[in-house]
Amino acid sequence: MSLLKALDFSGKRVLVCGASDGIGYGVAKAFVEAGADVAVTGTRSACDYDNDFTAMEFHSLNIQDAAAVSGLAAKFERLDVLVNCVGSVLWSKREFEREGFEKIITINLTGAMQLCTEFFPLLQASQGNIVNIDSVASIRPALNNPAYSASKAGLVQLTKSLAMKWGRKGVRVNSLAPGMVSTKLTANQSSPEQQAEFATRNPVGRFGSPEDIAGGVLFLSSPMAAYVTGHQLVVDGGMTL
């Protein structure tokens, strides 16, 4: 199969959960450009965001609501690729409190598990695949975010477990760990000076972009990765070396 044909998603149905902004939106745009029929989710209504969703099918979703996740799956008749980009973090050391810890685990890990299981029948029917977006925090934990780090490390093992369980049923399951990526979230976390200092230490000398992450997701979702499952693809510019 030629490279161009392998990355042609024409006729494919793709759902990117957590695509209202940042990495998720960048991934969704890449699938649209590759010809896919793309649906996305955000926690609010499409009109509440600055991004343009006219080329996508938008669904509001609170992943903490199990009934809402089931309801979303019921709206789909087919699916070829599920990208789970849902993730949350709490600041001011609130993840050290039980309530904050449980909230992040529910969103980042329990919600991811339900997404995968709810959409599995459709993915089995299409012999499709799942890409879970974890984090380099699964490798090097974040100092003040124990729940985020634990949830992302758990997502790596969840991905491997589902890959083992569903491989013979024709569904591949992989994960991708982004490093520091230029988004509104990282802009709120660090000053321009801190970002410049990080760039001097990162082997490739810059922050990543949502497009960098999208390239990895499209690869894992494509026929080029037909023999790849249970794998964590680290896309961090060498940050974790």
Distance CA 83, CA 66 (A): 18
- Paired residues of 14 in beta bridges: 38, 81
Set 25, 49, 148, 227: catalytic member: 148
Distance CA 232, CA 132 (A): 9
Backbone angles phi, psi at 42, to 5 degrees: -145, 160
Is 227 known to be catalytic?
A: no
Alpha helices in the chain (DSSP H): 3-6, 22-33, 66-74, 98-105, 111-126, 146-166, 184-189, 192-201, 210-221
What the block records as the tokens of 95 is 């993840």
Contacts of 241 (CB under 8 A, 6+ apart): 203
Cβ neighbours of 186 (radius 10 Å)? 16
Closest CA to 145 of 101, 107, 175, 188: 101
- Paired residues of 233 in beta bridges: 176
Q: Which residues are catalytic?
A: 148
